[in-house]
Structure 1
C-alpha cells in the first residue's frame, strides 16, 4: 500500500508537495487498512480535483516518473550524456531563470509484504545526488542504505546481501536500487518489486499495455480470472459479451516489432508508456449478442467509452484481486459518471476490496463531491490542486485543511469558491470576441 508520496521540482510542482493515504479517523463501512506502528489506518481511495492545467495530472506523472526511474535508470538511461542530452531525463519546473540548476526530489512511504518502508532520491540533470531506503521495524525508522553523491554508500546493520558488486555496477546517473535489482540482490529486489508489480499507472499513453493486461486476465487459463473480467465487462451495459484476440501468421512478427519500438522509446522518454493503438486494436474483437445472433466487431469499431472501459479492466481486476496501487489519470475521461462511481465503489467496499487495493485518481468530475454520492468519498479522501498564475507553480492540499462536516455538500461549497481549485474565466473575453467577430463582418470599427 502507498502511505505517502512527496515530490519537489517536477513539472508545475515547484515546491515540495505531499499526498497521504492516512485516514483522519476510522469510519465504518469503507475500506481501511491497518498500518504497522501507526494508529491511523490507511485509506483505499484518494482523489485530486481542480481546474484544467492546475497540476492534477502532474501528481500522477511524478509518481510514474519515480517508478520508471527505479525500473529503468540502470538499464535504459544512457551511461554517458552526449550531445547536450541530460544523463537524468527529468522534467523540472521551467518557469524561472535557473530552471535547470535546481534538483528534483521524490519519495514514497509504502507497505510491502507486511513491512513498512521509506524510499526516496534527489537528482539533477546529470546524476543522482542522494538516495536512501529506510524500514520501520519500530516507531522509529532504521536506515538500510544511504547514498550521498555518485559513490559514497553507507549501509545499516539491517542491510542483507552483497554490497561491493552492486555498488561497483551503479552509474552516477542510475539509482542504486535499480542497479542492485538488476543484479538480483535478494533484499533490494523485494523493494524493487513494489514499484514493478504493485504500483500501476493508467494514462492515455499506456493504453496498449493496459489492453494487453485485460486480455491476459480474460484469456487466462484460470477460469476465476476470466470471471473477474467478465463480471465487470457485463456490468458496464455495453452489450459486449466477450472479447478475443485474432491472430494470423504475421502477428508474431508484428508483436515483436512493436516490443522493439516500445523499448526504443522507453530509453529516450520519461513518460509512463507509449501509444500503440494502431498496432494492437485491429487484432482484438468484441462479441455482441442481439436478437439476430452473436456478432463480432473489431475494437476500432467500438465507441471510445467502450474501449476505455475494456482497457481499464485489466489493471482494475489485477489491483483488486492481488492488492496494490492503481493510479488513474483523468478517471472520468470518456466514461459515464455512473461507471466512474462504480470504479470508486469497488475500492471503497470492504467486501470487494479485501486485498489492500488502493486507487489514486484525478478528475474534473464535480459530481463526485456531491452530498450523498454512491461511492461514499469522505473529506480525508478529497484533495485539490491549484495553480498560482503569477508563478505557474501548483499547490496540492486536502479538503481537511478546511473546517466542515462530512455530511455537508462539498460540491456546492466547491463551486462557491470555498476551497479554491476553480478555473478563472475572464467574462470580458465574450465581449472582446464579439467585437472582433463584428469587425470581420462589418469591417474595422471606427472610434
Structure 2
C-alpha cells in the first residue's frame, strides 16, 4: 500500500508537497500495520478548481511508475522530466520520495533527476523498524547493501540517464523485485494523466489500462451458475470460489444499471490487408418485469460503457492490492457509480488485499463519502504554483469528524474554490456594469 508520496519541481509544483495515506483515527476501513506503527487509508480524493494542479499530483506518481518501467530503454537522449516552467526551477532537479508498504514492511525510494542525468537515487527499507539501505547512488557511484552481491552487475549497465531500479528489474533479487513490481503496478484510469505533453515521450507514458478487450475476455469465460452480488457480501470471497466471469457479472450488477448478463460474439473481419482481424459484438442483457432483452453495447449510455470498461482493471486491482490513479472521476461516471466505486475500495470484504484508489474530482457530493483524512485540496497561487493541503490539518486546526465536509467546502471554509468574483473579468463579459 502507498504510505506517502512527495514531489518537488514537477509541472505546477515548484516546492515540496506531500500526499500521505496515514489515517488520523481508527475505523473499520483503515488497514493497521503494527511493524511501522501506522494505519493506512484505502481512498484519497483531491479537490480544487480547474488548473490548480490536481491532476499533476497523479501525473507525478504516474511519471515515477513509468520511469521505473521504461528508463533503461527510453531515456537515450534526454530524461522526459517536466520541471516548473517559471523562474530558476526549470534548471533544478525534480525530486520524488515514495514510501510503500510491502508485506508489512515499509520501503522508501528517493530520486533526484534532471533532463540530462540522475543525480541521486536510493532505496531503503525498515524490516525490523530501523532504516536499512538497500542501495544508494550518487551520480553513477552505486553502493549496495551487504548480501546483495547479485546486483553488482547493475554498475556495468548504469548510465547518466537510467534508473538503477530499472536495471535491477533484470536481476532476480527479492527485495528490489518486490518494490519495483509494486511501483510499476500503479494503474491509470479515467482521463489519461499524461495527456498534456505526449509529444516529448518516445513511448506511451501513461497508457490507459481501460482496454475494453481485457474486460471482454472476462465475459468469454465458461458460464457457471451466476452470482448475485449484494452490498453486504464479499465480491472476492474465495469461499464461494467464483469464476472470473461470475465476479465480472457481480461487479456489473453492483452498479444497478439493470444489466443482468453480457453476450459476446466473436467475428472475423476482412481487413483487406492480408490476415483477417478478430472483432467482437457486445450485447448487454437487460431485465425488466422478468423479460430479458439484449442491447448493443454502443447503444448504451456513456456511463454504462465506462463502468463496463472498468470491470477488469478494477477487479485486477482489488485482487492484487494495486494502487489506482483515477483522474477526473466525476467526468467518467455518474455520482452514484463514483460513490459505489469508492465503497468497493473502502470495504474490506470487497478489497481484502489493500488496493487503494487515488482520484481527482469536482463533485463535492463525494465529500459525503470520505473521511477528513481522505480529502486533499489544491489551490493555484499567483505565480502559477500549486498549493496542496490535507483537509485533516487545514489551517493548523483539526476538522471535526462530524463536520459536513461538502457544506464546509462549498462555503469556502477550506479554500480550493475557483475565484468567480473578479470584477474586471465580470465586466469584460458584460455581466456587471
TM-score (norm 1): 0.80
| Gap regions ≥5 residues in structure 1 | 82-86, 258-279, 439-447
Q: Structure 1 stretch 234-243 or stretch 7-16: which is displaced more?
A: 234-243
Matches within 5 A, 1:181-260: 181-197=169-185, 199-205=186-192, 206-207=207-208, 209-220=210-221, 224-240=243-259, 241-242=261-262, 244=264, 246-248=266-268
Matches within 5 A, 1:394-413: 394-402=386-394, 403-413=398-408
Equivalenced residues, count: 394
- 2:230 maps to what in 1? none
CA gap of 1:61–1:425, structure 2 versus 1, over 3 A, is: same
Distance apart, 1:164 and its partner CA: 3.2
Distance apart, 1:419 and its partner CA: 0.8
Distance apart, 1:405 and its partner CA: 1.2
> Secondary structure in 2 aligned to 1:407?
coil
Q: 2:104 aligns with which of 104, 114, 120?
A: 114
Distance apart, 1:408 and its partner CA: 1.2
Q: Deviations over 1:136-180 (max 9, x none)?
A: 12332111100010x2011122x5242332211122111011012
Structure 1 distance, partners of 2:416, 2:388, is 9
CA gap of 1:207–1:244, structure 2 versus 1, over 3 A, is: farther
- 2:83 maps to what in 1? 92
Contact 1:88 1:125 in 2 (8 A): yes
1:418 aligns with 2:424: no
Contact 2:324 2:358 in 1 (8 A): yes
- 1:153 maps to what in 2? 142
RMSD: 2.9
CA gap of 1:255–1:31, structure 2 versus 1, over 3 A, is: farther
CA gap of 1:190–1:220, structure 2 versus 1, over 3 A, is: farther
Distance apart, 1:118 and its partner CA: 0.7
- 1:385 maps to what in 2? 378
- 1:180 maps to what in 2? 168
1:285 aligns with 2:274: no
Distance apart, 1:423 and its partner CA: 0.3
Contact 1:100 1:125 in 2 (8 A): no
Distance apart, 1:245 and its partner CA: 6.3
Contact 1:49 1:382 in 2 (8 A): yes
Structure 1 distance, partners of 2:159, 2:269, is 42
Distance apart, 1:124 and its partner CA: 0.4
Distance apart, 1:128 and its partner CA: 0.8
CA gap of 1:361–1:255, structure 2 versus 1, over 3 A, is: farther
> Secondary structure in 1 aligned to 2:430?
helix
Matches within 5 A, 1:135-150: 135-149=125-139
TM-score (norm 2): 0.83
Q: Deviations over 1:227-277 (max 9, x none)?
A: 2211121222334421536342568x99999xxxxxxxxxxxxxxxxxxxx
- 1:343 maps to what in 2? 341
1:14 aligns with 2:10: no
Distance apart, 1:220 and its partner CA: 4.8
Structure 1 distance, partners of 2:391, 2:274, is 49
CA gap of 1:207–1:153, structure 2 versus 1, over 3 A, is: closer
> Secondary structure in 2 aligned to 1:226?
helix
- 2:115 maps to what in 1? 125
Q: Deviations over 1:396-436 (max 9, x none)?
A: 11111133311111111112211110000145334432389
Contact 2:9 2:89 in 1 (8 A): no
CA gap of 1:245–1:324, structure 2 versus 1, over 3 A, is: farther
